[in-house]
Structure 1
Amino acid sequence: MGLFGIILSLGLLMYLAYRGINVLILAPLLSALAVLMSGGLPVLATYTQVFMESLGGYVITYFPLFLLGAIFGKVMADGGAARTIAERIVDWVGPGQAILAVVLACGVLTFGGVSLFVVAFAIYPIANALFRRADVPKRLLPAAIALGSFTFTMTAFPGTPAIQNAIPIPFFGTNVFAAPLFGTLAGIIMLGGGTLWLNRRRASAQGRGEGYGEHDSTGADSTLPSDVKLPNFAVAIAPVVAVIGLNALFTYVLIPMMSADYLAEPQYGETSLSSVAGIWAIIVSLTLSILLAIGLNWGRFKDVLETVNTGTMGSLLPVFNTASEVGYGAVIASLPAFGLIRDAVLGLFPNNPVASLAVAVNVLAGITGSASGGMSIALNALGEQFAEMGQAQGVSMELMHRVTALSSGGFDALPHNGAVITLLAITGLTHKKSYGDIFMVAVAIPVLATVTVIVLGSLGL
Structure 2
Amino acid sequence: MGLLGLLVGLGLLVLFAFRGWSVLLLAPFAALVAALFGGEPLLANLTQVFMTNAAAFLAQFFPIFLLGAVFGKLMDDSGAVTSVAAFMAKRLGERRVILAVVLAGAAVTYGGVSLFVAFFVIVPMARSLFRAAEIPRRLIPAAIVLGTSTFTMSALPGTPSIQNAIPMPFFGTTPFAAPGLGIVASLIMLGTGLWWLHRAEAKARRAGEGYGDEVEDVTERAASDELVRERATTAREFDPAELQHGHRSDQASPVLNAVLPLIVVVAVNLLMSLVVLPRLDVSYLAEQRFGGTSLAAVAGVWSVAVALTAAIVTTIVLNWSRLPALRQTMDAGANASVLPAFSVASLVGFGAVVAALPAFTTVRDWVLAIEGGPLVSLAVATNILAALTGSASGGLTIALDALGDTYVDLAARTGIDLALMHRVAVIGSGTLDILPHNGAVVSLLAICGLTHRDSYFDIVMVGIVTSLLALVAVIALGSVLGSF
Residues of 1 paired with 2:249 and 2:5: CA distance?
A: 58
Aligned letter for 2:303?
A
Match of 1:55 in 2: 54
Q: Select 1:404's aligned residue among 422, 425, 438.
A: 425
Spell out, residue by residue over 1:339-359, the C-alpha distance to the aligned partner (whole angstroms, 9 max, x if none). Answer: 10000001113x621111111
Aligned equivalents of 1:111 and 1:36: distance in 2?
Answer: 43
Partner of 2:23: 23
Aligned pair 1:344/2:366, yes or no? yes
**How many aligned positions are there?**
459
CA contact (8 A) 2:151 2:186 kept: yes
Q: Residue in 1 aligned with 2:98?
A: 99
Per-residue deviation, residues 332-389 of structure 1 (Å, max 9, x unmatched): 101111110000001113x621111111111100010000000000000000001110
- 1:429 corresponds to 2:450: yes
Q: Does 1:376 align with 2:375?
A: no
One-letter amino acid of the counterpart of residue 131, structure 2: R
Amino acid at match of 1:316: V
1:260-299 equivalent positions in 2, closer than 5 A: 260-299=282-321
| Cross-structure match for 2:235 | none
How far did residue 219 of structure 1 move? Answer: 2.8
1:219 and 2:218 matched: yes
Q: Give the match's secondary structure for 1:212.
A: coil
Mapped partners of 2:415, 2:289: distance in 1:
33
Match of 1:447 among 450, 468, 473: 468
Answer whether contact 2:164 2:175 (CA < 8 A) is retained. yes
The RMSD of aligned alpha carbons is 1.7
Name which of structure 1's ranges 88-97 and 51-60 shifts more when overlaid on structure 2: 88-97
* Cα distance in structure 2, aligned partners of 1:229 and 1:55: 41
Structure 2: distance between partners of 1:208 and 1:195: 20
The residue matched to 2:408 in structure 1 has which SS?
helix
Which string of whole-angstrom CA distances, capped at 9 and with x for unpartnered residues, describes residues 186-245 of structure 1?
0111111111111111111121111111132123279x9999332221111000000000
Q: Name the CA distance, whole Å, in 1 between partners of 2:192 and 2:271.
A: 32
Matched letter for residue 187 of structure 1: S
Aligned twin of 1:147: 146
Q: Distance in 1 between matches of 2:281 and 2:407?
A: 30
Shift in Å, 1:407: 0.5
Match of 2:124 in 1: 125
Q: Which deviations, in whole Å up to 9, do the C-alpha atoms of 1:229-277 show, x marking residues without a partner? A: 3222111100000000011111111112211111001111111112211
Indicate whether 1:177 and 2:176 are aligned: yes
- The runs of 5 or more residues in structure 2 that have no matched partner are 222-243
- Match in the other structure for 1:201: 200
Residues 74 and 307, structure 1, Cα contact 8 Å, conserved in 2? yes
How much has 1:302 moved relative to structure 2?
Answer: 3.2
Pair 227,56 (structure 1): closer, same or farther in 2 beyond 3 Å: closer
Q: CA deviation at 1:85?
A: 0.6
Q: Deviations over 1:29-62 (max 9, x none)?
A: 11111111112x1111111111011110000100
Deviates more, 1:378-387 or 1:204-213: 204-213
2:77–2:248 contact (8 Å) kept in structure 1: no
For residue 128 of structure 2, what is the amino acid of its counterpart?
A: A
> How far is 1:430 from its partner?
0.8
Q: Deviations over 1:379-432 (max 9, x none)?
A: 000000011101110001110111111101001111111111111111111111
Percent of aligned positions with the same letter in both sequences?
Answer: 49
**1:33 paired residue number:** 33
Asked whether the equivalents of residues 50 and 350 of structure 2 are also in contact (C-alpha less than 8 Å), the reply is yes
Please state whether the residue corresponding to 1:238 is helix, strand or coil. Answer: helix
1:356 aligned to which of 377, 385, 390: 377
Find the aligned partners of 1:419 and 1:289 in 2 and give their Cα distance.
25
TM-score, scaled relative to structure 1: 0.97
Query: Which of 413, 434, 437 is residue 416 of structure 1 equivalent to?
Result: 437
* Contact 1:153–1:160 (CA under 8 A) maintained in structure 2: yes
Asked if 1 retains the 8 angstrom alpha-carbon contact of 2:163 and 2:392, the reply is yes
Q: Distance in 2 between matches of 1:321 and 1:418?
A: 12
Retained in 1: the 8 A contact 2:249–2:322?
Answer: no
Which residue in the other structure is 1:135 paired with? 134
What is the one-letter code of the residue matched to 2:443?
A: T
Which whole-Å CA distance do the structure 1 matches of 2:390 and 2:292 have between them? Answer: 34
